[in-house]
Amino acid sequence: MINQIKAYLSEGKIWEGRIQYFETITSTNDVLKELAKQNAPHGTVLIADCQTGGRGRLGRTFLSPAQMGIYMSVLLRPDCMPGDLMHLTCAAAEAACDAFEKAVGIRPSIKWTNDIVFLKRKLAGILTEVGIGNNQKTEYVIIGIGVNCSQSETDFPEEIRGFAGSLAMVTEKVIDRARVAAELVNAFASMNDKLLTDKANLIEAYRRDCITIGEEVSVIRGEEVLHGVALDINSDCSLMVRFSDGTIAPVNSGEVSVRGLYHYV
Ligand code: BTN
């Protein structure tokens, strides 16, 4: 697998020597976080065929069965304050859309903030984590992505069957997972080049791909559920929502879950 992935990397292959492949791992994010603390270099990439402890946002589990998906984490070491990275998840989601378009020929959309969707089915999820040093600067960034590649509908547990999807299901093609992995590495490397210099364009591209804008949403914060309409994405990646009582306020992805009123999106 690792050689197939390397064969698809773009010219320059900047991170080629820093890619590690695992048949099984607990969580690529967790292992990479340990490596980051032991000074692993910028551009270290972990890719796994299977995770036994895959994690999603808000403490959820991310199912990571063998031979079905790509589970990947990328380590970046941008020279900036954590506050300069509010748009990180948006940039990563855009990179993922670029990668899938190249690898399988469809451009998916984004459900704010970090779900990659096509025809109302979630194909991939992104979990970004930022480590802060003693000097309060960014010490490391980890971008984790889990992609459903080869599942058919019955491979998903019943409770998520209606809204989980795979690249194979939506393209009706056999998916070359090595190509998907390589295009993700290529796209994250390109994203890294413009992460701190091209924020406005990144957010603009994200707005174009984000299907949450204009949708009715339920904002779930603990026990509280508020209804409203998503109006826009702010430059810090927060979602501007007009709530049913008429108030307009930004919603931050770290604290809430947003559900569309119809179906999953
Ligand atoms: C989500 O949908 O809430 C985010 C899912 C992120 C899953 C990926 S798989 C690779 C990396 N390792 C993890 O434990 N999580 C991320």
State the SS3 of 26-94: CCHHHHHHHHHHCCCCCCCEEEECCECCCECHHHCECCCCCCCEEEEEEEECCCCCHHHHCCHHHHHHH
pLDDT tens-place string over residues 38-90: 999 999 999 999 999 999 988 889 999 999 999 999 999 999 999 999 999 99
Residue nearest to atom 3 of ligand 1 (CA): 56
Compute the distance from residue 72 Cα to the ligand 1 centre, in Å.
Answer: 8
Residue nearest to atom 9 of ligand 1 (CA): 146
As averages over each run of 10 residues, the pLDDT of the chain (265 residues) reads: 91 82 98 97 97 92 96 97 95 98 97 92 96 95 98 95 95 97 96 95 96 90 87 93 95 72 49
Q: Is the CB of 55 under 6 A from ligand 1?
A: yes
Compute the distance from residue 57 Cα to the ligand 1 centre, in Å.
Answer: 7
Residue nearest to atom 2 of ligand 1 (CA): 125
Token output for 225: 């559920």
Q: Is the CB of 108 under 6 A from ligand 1?
A: no
Q: Is the CB of 142 under 6 A from ligand 1?
A: no
Closest CA relative to residue 73, chosen from 6, 136, 22: 22
Q: Is the CB of 60 under 6 A from ligand 1?
A: yes
